[in-house]
Structure 1
Amino acid sequence: MSRKKAGAPLGVVGLLAAAVAVAVLIAPGTLSYFVSSAQTPATTVSTGEAALSIAGNGGPSGTVYPGGPTQLLATRTITNTGDVALSLVSAFTATGALAPSLTITVSVQSGACGATPPATWPADSGRWQGTTAGLTTSVPTTIGIGATRRLCAWQSLGVNAPNGTQGQAAPVSITVTGTQVAP
């Protein structure tokens, strides 16, 4: 009894070769893998310096009364001494029995501070107004590199201030924060 090994019929191998040849003819293409590199020259990265200088002390002193006119509280000179433009925002606090009824208006502007806030605000002025409980107006502004602006702060007392505020004081603290403007 002889045993024959079963081999792949020539027809199957030929059929596979024909299928590969047809596939190459119908969908030609190449398979490539390219590798390239280039060295770039060294570069330097540097950061800017945000610096804000506020000069001045004291201020006009006056008394306010319920429903009375807004009065100038303080003026300061603000200078951007850094090498990046700064976006300015302001916040304020006051303490004492008078504080909840006190309205503070703060502005950073190009011109001098008037005895009362301007009737219309210049386009480049930032302004913040409200009571110590919260702001009602917040308009940020930008101060350029080396620019000097005037900080003006006014005070007024609401018409509905309680009788307990008579003869009281409210020390006010105003904070101006400068944040770098993205180039």
Structure 2
Amino acid sequence: MKVFSSDCTFDYSWDEVSTANWRKYCPWNDKSTHVVAVDTLSRTVDPETGILRTERLITCNQSVPHWVSSLFGGNPTSHVYEISYVDPVSKKVTMCSSNLTWSNVLNVQETVVYKPSQLKPRTTTEFKQEAQITALCGGWQKIKNKVEEASIERFSQNAKLGREGFEAVLEMSRRVFGEQHEKEKHMQL
């Protein structure tokens, strides 16, 4: 098993980040063109805690390294199962995802957490990401290591693009919805 971890701080409030999170695969995010569909499977709110729990199926088209597809075959379309929890009281978004496609060869368990920064809780949000990647290639340790190393490298590249794309979504959301919010405030005056 190999572990990838990353963290950063977004210069946006938790309210902005937790709202924009639902738009991160939108058309204006040119870093997520590999995502072809996001289907909500279920959404519930716990009446006692107020926690919003959402299950989604994310469909992607991704290129697979040639040596991997020649070893294991495959199709560029893949599916990821995601469960997210939005806790409005503690101001924390937790997203847990796992791959459904090729899960008999490679298991990827990812957890992402967004919460207000301790330094500037009103204006910045901490982002933490961790992925545990395990190749399930039987007793072939060399192949297993190679698959895990290649997967970590690919995951790292995709994570960087994902953060860049989410920054663009946050900026666009602030411009579009910030202007709308300002207009609504002025209309109420």
- Kindly indicate which of the two structures has a greater share of residues assigned to helix: 2
TM-score under structure 1 normalisation? 0.28
TM-score under structure 2 normalisation? 0.27
Task: Specify the structure having the higher radius of gyration (Cα).
Answer: 1
